[in-house]
């Protein structure tokens, strides 16, 4: 796992500044504390920081071919690199035992079919000196980040936005058009970020950037498993449960490949417990496992992780954090995330990664299962919407008014868009209550990019459930993976996600919907069936519990997290102009007095304002990253 940066000049006779490239590369030290390298030739400069995981003594980057015609920098892991190297051995002599060299020798800028053979997570940059062409690529699901921005005379890219911001001509500004989407959904979808002019290479795509035209073309390489059948992934004569188990066992085996210690993050939930059980079965000795909880007993799930650890005989490590611990890590976490924090559990994830680093360098996690197999209870709402469309309009409206008065989120979501399944799917993925959002950001708001994703889902699959899953995999999942990467890499921990092996992702699209969700009855059926072979019934039968954080309660503590509400009352916030400050004051008063729970919208506003002050109003993010004990941005701390 690594951090990469690069600059391509328009002027062929002008090289990037070495001191600037060194500074940008050094800003990613946390991603790769084991080694670093810089390459400059003509108009191109590459920088690399390395976290050594495979072939610890080899694999230095930037890596060039023998003629120095092509230069590669790369972040990630190609799990099937040894199989690929064997296939290529007749035509190539390999000098290292690392996946970087395999990627360098496979890469082509004339076609991109070779990327479909890679099983892994990756973000890379390849410079072809003869063609004066840069190729950027990102893995199918977006597990590894890759950002870029284009100036008049320079094209710049990096694993993290902070490296781009160190360029003197990159002036941070807010992408104000996407603020309503962020407040409604916690993140923005597509290739834009909350920074104006800074973009991401989309998951499953490459960007080919030609120096002579100084333009880049973004091209999809992932076929999403189209025209494939079950037999392309696993023995089709097996039962669906056996197929899934075999694929998952193989995926875990691949993701345990490492020359450094490997563990798992086990929350005690279904998904991470199943991964832990399979990983322990493949491990000699006891596997290191880690969980994080809170002092508040109603938010602490660590007892379930300890049940799994006891049953599997893992070496389990539990971290509990208090509200004060959370406060101390809050601003540093926002600084590492680089955009407004979309999930409150990012803070405990960062703290858990620091904790785990004492024992391991690689961890396996349970991310992705919910988005592949329908794990969220909210998936039932659009499915029920189709059934409710026959109800008379007056009946629906009365029911909606009653649900809103009772503050019933699920029934409100169900009835708000009972006439429109498409709108129901989009709205169902919103986190902020509709009535709070409409007061703060009166519409209309098109959310165009999200409807474009759903249109693609309609072209891809015929059922509402499969369309919801496709939609979540391309809107919600990228935000989860982004926070996983940055929170773990901040502590130099490499997180691997076995459920997102591309074979499992594509195979899941061929699975009958009845093995995923039964309306009003159950979720993620096939995962539970397979998990019942590996872990106790008390885990497989547990009700779905998210990675909850007591934000609502803490925001009512003026000496704790509630102090950050002061950010929303001062003149700096009032002068932003994107919302009515008086509405925000009402939300704060009602929430602080316990009259109404406005924690979702207030949390979104706090994080947006904090990020704005750290990254746009100043460069305070640098101090928060490297000296988190320095004075807080919060005015009442």
Q: Which residue has the higher pLDDT, 521 or 239?
A: 239
CATH level 3 topology of 2-220: 3.60.20
Q: What is the pLDDT of residue 632?
A: 63
Average pLDDT over residues 239-253: 98
> Is residue 626 very low, low, confident or very high in pLDDT (cuts 50, 70, 90)?
low
- DSSP label at residue 287: P
- What the block records as the tokens of 217 is 């073309």
pLDDT at 274 over 90: yes
Rounded distance, CA 236 to CA 219, Å?
32
CB contact at 8 A, 199 and 149: yes
C-alpha closest to that of 504 among 230, 269, 262 = 230
CA 243 to chain CA centroid, Å, is 27
Q: What is the pLDDT of residue 637?
A: 45
Rounded distance, CA 133 to CA 203, Å?
21
Rounded distance, CA 375 to CA 523, Å?
5
Compute the C-alpha angle 383/384/385, nearest 5°: 90
Q: What is the pLDDT of residue 379?
A: 87
- What the block records as the tokens of 598 is 């406005």
- In DSSP notation, 59-95 reads --SSEE-TTS-EEEEEEEEETTHHHHHHHHTTT----
Rounded distance, CA 205 to CA 220, Å?
4
Helix (H, G, I), strand (E, B) or coil at 514: helix
- What the block records as the tokens of 233 is 């992934």
pLDDT at 6 over 60: yes
Rounded distance, CA 388 to CA 40, Å?
63
pLDDT at 630 over 50: no
* % of the chain residues with pLDDT over 90: 78
> Is residue 382 very low, low, confident or very high in pLDDT (cuts 50, 70, 90)?
confident
Supply the mean pLDDT for the chain.
91
Of 217-226, 385-394, 545-554, the range with the highest mean pLDDT is 217-226
Pairing state between β 147-150 and 199-200: antiparallel
CA distances from 489 to 186, 319, 377, 403, 493 (A): 21, 18, 30, 43, 5
Q: Which residue has the higher pLDDT, 245 or 522?
A: 245
Global confidence as pTM: 0.93
- What the block records as the tokens of 348 is 């405990």
* CATH for the stretch 230-374+478-540: 3.40.50.620
CB contact at 8 A, 585 and 417: no
C-alpha closest to that of 362 among 253, 483, 265 = 265
Q: What is the pLDDT of residue 405?
A: 73
Rounded distance, CA 430 to CA 413, Å?
9
Helices 393-405 + 409-416 axis angle, to 10: 150
Kindly state the helix (H) or strand (E) to which residue 121 belongs, with its residue range.
strand 120-128
Q: What is the pLDDT of residue 631?
A: 47
pLDDT digits (tens, 9 = 90+) for 57-89: 778 899 998 777 999 999 999 999 999 999 988
Average pLDDT over residues 31-47: 95
pLDDT at 97 over 60: yes
> Is residue 325 very low, low, confident or very high in pLDDT (cuts 50, 70, 90)?
very high
CB contact at 8 A, 84 and 78: yes
CA distances from 57 to 82, 146, 216, 494 (A): 17, 26, 35, 18
User: What does the domain layout of the chain look like in residue ranges?
Assistant: 2-220, 230-374+478-540, 378-445, 551-626
pLDDT at 200 over 70: yes
C-alpha closest to that of 335 among 22, 30, 23 = 30
pLDDT at 629 over 80: no
Do the two domains 2-220 and 230-374+478-540 of this chain adopt the same fold?
Answer: no
pLDDT at 635 over 60: no
């Amino acid at each position: 796992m690594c951090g990469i940066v690069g600059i391509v000049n328009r002027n062929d006779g002008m090289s990037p500044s070495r001191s600037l490239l060194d500074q940008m590369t050094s800003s990613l030290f946390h991603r790769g504390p084991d080694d670093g390298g810089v390459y400059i030739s003509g108009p191109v400069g590459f920088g690399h920081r390395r976290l050594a995981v495979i072939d610890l003594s080899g694999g230095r980057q930037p890596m060039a071919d023998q003629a120095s015609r092509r230069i590669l920098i790369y972040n990630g892991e190609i799990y099937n690199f040894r199989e690929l190297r064997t296939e290529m051995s007749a035509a190539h002599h390999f000098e290292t035992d690392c996946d970087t060299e395999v990627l360098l020798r496979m890469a082509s800028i004339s076609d991109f079919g070779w990327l479909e053979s890679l099983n892994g997570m990756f973000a890379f940059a390849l410079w072809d000196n003869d063609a004066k062409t840069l190729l950027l690529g990102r893995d199918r699901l977006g597990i590894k980040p890759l950002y870029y921005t284009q100036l008049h005379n320079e094209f710049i890219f990096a694993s993290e936005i902070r490296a781009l911001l160190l360029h003197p001509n990159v002036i941070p500004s807010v992408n104000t058009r996407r603020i309503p989407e962020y407040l409604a959904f916690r993140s923005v979808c597509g290739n834009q970020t909350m920074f104006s002019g800074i973009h991401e290479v989309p998951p499953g795509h490459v960007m080919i950037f030609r120096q002579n035209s100084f333009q880049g073309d973004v091209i999809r390489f992932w076929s999403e498993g189209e025209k494939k059948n079950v037999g392309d992934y696993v023995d089709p004569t097996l039962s669906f449960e056996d197929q899934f188990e075999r694929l998952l066992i193989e995926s875990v085996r691949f993701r345990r490949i490492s020359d450094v210690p490997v563990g798992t993050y086990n929350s005690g939930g279904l998904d991470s417990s199943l991964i832990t059980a399979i990983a322990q079965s493949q491990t000699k000795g006891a596997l290191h496992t880690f969980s994080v909880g809170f002092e508040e007993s109603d938010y602490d799930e660590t007892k379930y992780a300890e049940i799994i650890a006891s049953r599997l005989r893992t070496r389990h490590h539990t971290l509990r954090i208090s509200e004060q611990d959370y406060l101390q890590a809050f601003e540093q976490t926002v600084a590492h995330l680089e955009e407004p924090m979309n999930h409150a559990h990012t803070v405990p994830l960062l703290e858990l990664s620091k904790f785990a680093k004492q024992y391991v360098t690689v961890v396996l996690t349970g991310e992705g299962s919910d988005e592949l197999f329908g794990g969220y209870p909210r998936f039932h709402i659009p499915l029920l919407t189709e059934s409710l469309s026959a109800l008379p309009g007056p009946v629906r409206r009365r029911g909606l008014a009653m649900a809103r008065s009772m503050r019933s989120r699920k029934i409100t979501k169900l009835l708000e868009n009972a006439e429109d399944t498409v709108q129901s799917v989009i709205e169902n993925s919103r986190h902020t209550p509709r009535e709070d959002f409409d007061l703060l950001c009166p519409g209309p708001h098109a959310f165009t990019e999200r409807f474009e994703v759903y249109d693609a889902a309609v072209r891809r699959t015929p059922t509402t459930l499969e369309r919801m899953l496709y939609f979540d995999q391309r809107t919600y999942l990228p935000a989860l993976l982004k926070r996983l990467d940055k929170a773990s890499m901040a502590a130099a921990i490499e997180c691997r996600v076995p459920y997102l092996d591309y074979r499992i992702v594509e195979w899941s699209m061929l699975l009958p919907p009845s093995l995923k969700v039964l309306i009003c009855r159950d979720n993620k059926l096939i995962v539970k069936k397979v998990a019942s072979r590996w872990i106790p019934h008390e885990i497989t039968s547990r009700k779905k519990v998210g990675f909850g954080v007591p934000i609502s309660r803490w925001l009512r503590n003026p000496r704790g997290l509630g102090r950050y509400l002061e950010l929303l009352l001062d003149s700096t916030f009032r002068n932003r102009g994107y919302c009515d400050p008086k509405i925000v004051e009402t939300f704060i008063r009602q929430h602080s007095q316990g009259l109404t729970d406005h924690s979702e919208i207030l949390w979104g506003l706090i994080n947006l304002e904090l990020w704005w002050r750290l990254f746009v109003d100043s460069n305070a993010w640098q101090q928060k990253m490297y000296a988190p004990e320095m004075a807080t941005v919060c005015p009442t701390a």
